[in-house]
Amino acid sequence: MATTLAKAEESVEYAARLEHVSKSFAGPGGQQLVLDDISIDVAPGEFVTLLGASGCGKSTLLNLVAGLDKPTVGSIATDGRPSLMFQEHALFPWLTAGKNIELALKLRGVPKNERRDRTEELLELVRLKGAYGKRVHELSGGMRQRAALARALAQESNLLLMDEPFSALDAITRDVLHDELTRIWTETGVSVLFVTHNVREAVRLAQRVILLSSRPGRIAREWTVDIPQPRRIEDAPVAELSLEITDVLRGEIRRHGQH
């Protein structure tokens, strides 16, 4: 089956480029700096994870890249409009799994006579073949996240933004979806910017892990993950790098007095 996403164009310089991005919000004591001087390039087809303790600004940064908010300082450019997948599936419960995906195709301007076939392709891509007519309440948690992923892919963006999409799932389901996401990323060539607070999840999935410090979020350190895919979360190289990153993360938490 041919997927509906084209491989990322090699001629494109970046999928996302953040240059000296800072973000402040008004608070009781005045402006509160949440993100400070963030510069990141995500290459076409690259899988990057943003890692950090709760409250370090990971989700805020993802919202900025998605265009849901604007930076206070700095600039953000993306290769087309990104698609965003949330912690919760955010599927419309009054629509079937298939109709949720078709809605994304409709909003993108796909002709009505093409939507059903495109939807069936996407459902097959995320291993939900035959689930077109199922209501949201008939789907398990893992199936709902697969449907949400299919809906995000229906936007045919070159950049997929994922905000802790597997955090609410049990360990076995999360493990299966890690495999599925890796397969889909490999097949489609989409670029991924993935937010998590789970160190092993970051190492299992990504080509590059970027650690944000806390209060405000700054790039503390980054790692290139030279471990061949497919990876398992219990693999020795994954565990070894995870321990190294965890030690640095703990140091950042202690340094900022976060408990």
135 and 236 both lie in a single domain: no
Q: Rounded to 10 degrees, what is the CA torsion of 173, 235, 196, 94?
A: -20
Mean pLDDT of the chain: 88
- Sheet with strand 83-85: strands edge to edge: 83-85, 159-163, 191-196, 47-51, 208-212, 219-224
Q: Do 149 and 187 have their domain in common?
A: no
Judgement on whether residues 130 and 237 belong to the same structural domain of the protein: no
The CATH number of residue 171's host domain is 3.40.50.300
Average pLDDT (48-72) is: 91
- One domain, residues 148 and 165: no
Burial class (CB in 10 A: 0-12, 13-18, 19+), 22: middle
SS3 state of residue 139 = coil
Task: Please check whether residues 97 and 194 belong to one and the same domain.
Answer: no
Question: 172 and 150: one domain?
Answer: no
pLDDT value for 11: 61
Is residue 9 one of the residues assigned to a domain?
no
The answer on 235 and 219 residing in a single domain is yes
- Parallel, antiparallel, or unpaired: how do β-strands 191-196 and 159-163 relate? parallel
Backbone dihedral angles phi then psi of residue 59, each to the nearest 5 degrees: -65, -35
CA angle 163–41–208, rounded 5-degree value:
65
Q: Which of 129, 156, 183 is the C-terminal boundary of a domain? A: 156
Identify whether residues 25 and 107 lie together within a single domain: no
Same domain, 60 and 31: yes
Which of 156, 176, 211 represents a domain boundary (last residue)?
156
**165 part of a folded domain:** yes
Is residue 109 located within the same domain as residue 124? yes
Side chain identity, residue 60: T
Residues 146 and 241 grouped into a single domain: no
Q: In this model, does residue 7 exceed pLDDT 50?
A: no
Domain limits for position 37:
16-82+158-255
Residue 56 has pLDDT above 90, yes or no: no
For residue 240, name the pLDDT band (cuts at 50, 70, 90). Answer: very high
- What percent of the chain has a predicted confidence (pLDDT) above 90? 57
**Total domains present in the chain:** 2
Token representation of residue 86: 């949330």
Among the candidates 122, 156, 190, a domain finishes at: 156
Residue 147 lies in a domain: yes
Per-residue pLDDT tens over the stretch 199-234: 999 999 999 999 999 878 999 999 999 999 889 989
* Residues 183 and 62 grouped into a single domain: yes
Q: What is the mean pLDDT of residues 69-78?
A: 95
Residue 89 scores a pLDDT above 90? no
Query: Which two three-digit tokens encode residue 198?
Result: 């789970």
Decide if 139 is inside a domain: yes
Give a yes or no: residue 143 inside a domain.
Answer: yes
